[in-house]
Structure 1
Amino acid sequence: MALDFKKLENLKIQNTTNIKGGNFNKVTITGNACFEGDISCKNFLSKGSCNAKGNIEGKNIVISGKASIDGNIKGKTAKLQGIIATKGNVDVEDLIIGGKVSIEKDLNCKIFNLPGVGSIEGNINSECVYIAGASHVKKDINTDIFVLSGGIVHQGVLNAKDVSITLGSKSKMNNIKCEKINIKKPENTSKLLSRLLKRLVKNEVSIECKKIEGKKIYLENTKADLVRGKVVVIGEGCNIKKVEYEEEFKVIQNGKVVNNIKI
């Protein structure tokens, strides 16, 4: 039976307090809280310090302070904007990571936004993934839409329909499998930057992959061992060891391909 949060008490922690756990309407932490058991509530807001030995479940979860969570985080929306480490899974519909967050297990959500710093030891399962900050993902990323404008180190497989990467820093990925992929260097900023700064940006932003597979592929500033697709365009700043293509293959703007074969 679902909880009627309106009938539950609010919990407000302003000092150092130990709580066994329980069900609440609204939990507000501005002090130092230690939860020995699971916490379930409608709204969870922590601006202080939180040490949870169990799970945290809430409709809306906002953590902007420090938090250490031994269990899972589960809710509808979650904003993790502080220094946060969780040993369990994170299961939410809408997640924003704006701070420095470490997740030891899987991340499951509909929409994932990362303008901060995130380290995920497990898999990411999401309909849409937007990474504008810095990320490290150990296992697979399974999504429909993957948009990267920041940096990533990814050790697993990216499985996606549409991949759009605007290079913001040096990134490294293992294996990309998708229908459509566009990897581009930053847009022309000549009106704002000197020629020297443009050259520095151009040299720094790049991505390295072992394998890229898709139907329609366009690459810039990419280094890869193997690129395989139906239509493949290798652009500026690329260094590709081997291209396998079904219908069309093209090299533009001084891209480099060591070997290509039609399959």
Structure 2
Amino acid sequence: METAKYPDMRMQGIWNGGGGRYSAVELDGVGKVAGDVEADRFISNGVATIQGGLTAAVMQFNGRLKVEGGIAGQELLLEGQLKAKGPLHADRCKINGAISIEGDCSAEQFEATGGIKIGGLLNGGQISIMMQGPSKIKEIGGEQIEVQRAKRELWSKLLGAAVPKWTPSLEAQHIEGDEVRISYTNAEVVRGDRVFIGPGCRIGLVEYRTELQIDPDAAIREEKKL
């Protein structure tokens, strides 16, 4: 039985493309794709808009990409800015930049450095967030969860001092995992087996089973051993 062969889509400069099923998609420059896109490999360099959903085994974004639907795939690599109006589901996400997802986000391995905004649940096995700006995630659930400030260059430190709203911090309603290590996080509830609350945290309720460590520079309203 022969495997179906699909065409490639390659765009350069200022362009407009159509949705469909492709083998490989490579977008360079500025443009938009009308409709859903499904591909084995999707690469975008520049500024692009997908007027629909995106499904691809491997996705690589360099620049700025807006997806007006959901995103699904195996591997997502981002250097730049990504905005999606639907959910994001991938086996592995590696993000360096800014990401905004209006729905839920799930990944077995989620690694992000930059600014993160997720309107629903971020769910994964290993979750690592290194903040370089203000971030907001409604809920986080996973096995190993780490939220820290990334090392900042001098210009970023000066910007944070001049514009307090730009200071790297995370706002969340609920965080739950087997092992939770967080810093500079404001959350209503944090729950886990082993919980480590670092500096700059403001937490309403912390629930833990085995171990709890709290930095002197953190404020916890209530703690409870399960």
- Larger gyration radius, structure 1 or structure 2: 1
2:193 match: 230
Where does residue 48 of structure 1 map in the other structure?
13
- How many percent of aligned residue pairs carry the same amino acid? 24
Q: Deviations over 1:25-74 (max 9, x none)?
A: xxxxxxxxxxxxxxx51x3221123323x424332211112222221212
**Structure richer in strand, relative to its length:** 2
Residue ranges of structure 1 left out of the alignment (5+ in a row): 5-39
2:35 partner SS: coil
1:233: how far off? Answer: 0.8
Instruction: Describe how 1:202-221 pairs up with structure 2 within 5 A.
Output: 204-221=167-184
Aligned match for 2:55, one of 63, 86, 91: 91
How far apart, in 1, do the equivalents of 2:46 and 2:150 lie?
29
1:3 to partner: Cα distance: 5.2
Paired with 2:193 and 2:4, the residues of 1 have a C-alpha distance of: 53
1:106 paired residue number: 70
- How do 1:74-223 and structure 2 match up within 5 A? 74-187=38-151, 197=158, 200=161, 204-223=167-186
Report the Cα offset of residue 140 of structure 1.
0.8
Distance 2:112 2:82 in 1: 13
- Normalising by structure 1, report the TM-score: 0.77
Question: How far is the alpha carbon of 1:100 from its aligned partner?
Answer: 1.7
Gapped regions of structure 2 (runs ≥ 5): none
Residue 250 of structure 1: how far off its partner (Å): 1.4
How far apart, CA to CA, are the structure 2 residues paired with 1:165 and 1:67?
31
TM-score (normalizing by structure 2): 0.89
Aligned: 1:242 with 2:205: yes
Q: Distance in 2 between matches of 1:87 and 1:179?
A: 34
For the aligned residue pairs, the C-alpha RMSD in angstroms reads 2.2
Deviations 1:91-134 (A, max 9, x none): 11111121221111111111111211111111111001112111
Q: Tell me which of the two structures has the higher relative contact order, counting C-alpha pairs closer than 8 angstroms and 6 or more residues apart.
A: 2
Which residue of 1 is the match for residue 223 of structure 2? 260
